[in-house]
Amino acid sequence: MSGVLDLVREDLRGFGGYSSARSARLDGEIWLNANEAAWANPGDAAATCRRYPEPQPQALRERLAALYGCTPGQLLIGRGSDEAIDLLVRALCVPGRDGVLYTPPVFGMYAVSARLQNAPALEVPLRDDEAGLVPDIEAIIATAKRGRARLVFLCSPSNPGGLSIPLAQVEQVAVAL
């Protein structure tokens, strides 16, 4: 693979997505097709509440890229983990074919997004270890391969256990898959 876009479903690679009327750089104050209020609310002196925020704010992406040592193009800005998980499952998993692996007990949105996308849900329960609830790395790798997992969610620190997955184990999964 040459880049992250190679991971996107083939049928979506050329899809441009929604573009707001304001993003087309047109002059004006009112864009009826943007579903925004045409007039300011008296309680909003700056008149900012009637406008949608930028979907991928460039200044924020640049600051985060500098902080994390990556490029802005490697970042996805979302409005919470629910949205990010849903976008990943929809963009990467072919319905009815590509699996989504997660490790219960864990955040429920992984299963919800898999079901909404008709992606096979692959569950590898956390093991009860003397340290607490820990991932079974070998079982994760085997299940991901057997179940055609397109996405493997490793929640770290885990929810509800609170333990972090060592980076060496995350790398082990990534290299194996």
* Token pair 């082990």 in the structure block, residue: 172
What's the CA gap between 157 and 39, in Å, rounded? 45
pLDDT of 87 reads 94
Eight-state DSSP code of residue 52: P
**104 and 20 Cβ atoms separated by less than 8 Å:** no
What's the CA gap between 122 and 145, in Å, rounded? 11
Contact residues for 65 (Cβ-Cβ < 8 A; gap 6+): 71, 72, 74, 75
Question: Are 153 and 69 found together in one domain?
Answer: no
Q: Say if 21 falls within a structural domain.
A: no
Q: Say if 128 falls within a structural domain.
A: yes
Query: Residue 71 is part of which domain span?
Result: 28-77
DSSP E strands, 87-171: 99-102, 121-123, 127-129, 132-134, 149-152
Structure tokens at 91: 């963009």
Tell me the pLDDT tens digit for each residue of 66-118: 999 999 988 989 889 999 999 999 999 999 999 999 999 999 999 999 999 99
Chunked into runs of 10 residues, the chain (177 residues) has average pLDDT values of: 78 79 65 73 80 85 97 90 95 96 96 97 96 95 97 93 94 97
CATH code: domain of residue 84? 3.40.640.10
Q: Say if 170 falls within a structural domain.
A: yes
CB count, 10 Å around CB of 106? Answer: 21
Domain count, the chain: 2
Question: Are 105 and 73 found together in one domain?
Answer: no
**Domain boundary residue, one of 40, 58, 77:** 77
What pTM, to 2 d.p., does this model score?
A: 0.81
pLDDT of 24 reads 58
pLDDT of 152 reads 98
Residues 72, 78, 82, 85: is their CA dihedral positive or negative? negative
Structure tokens at 60: 């924020």
Question: Are 132 and 60 found together in one domain?
Answer: no
Amino acid identity, position 129: D
Question: Are 95 and 148 found together in one domain?
Answer: yes
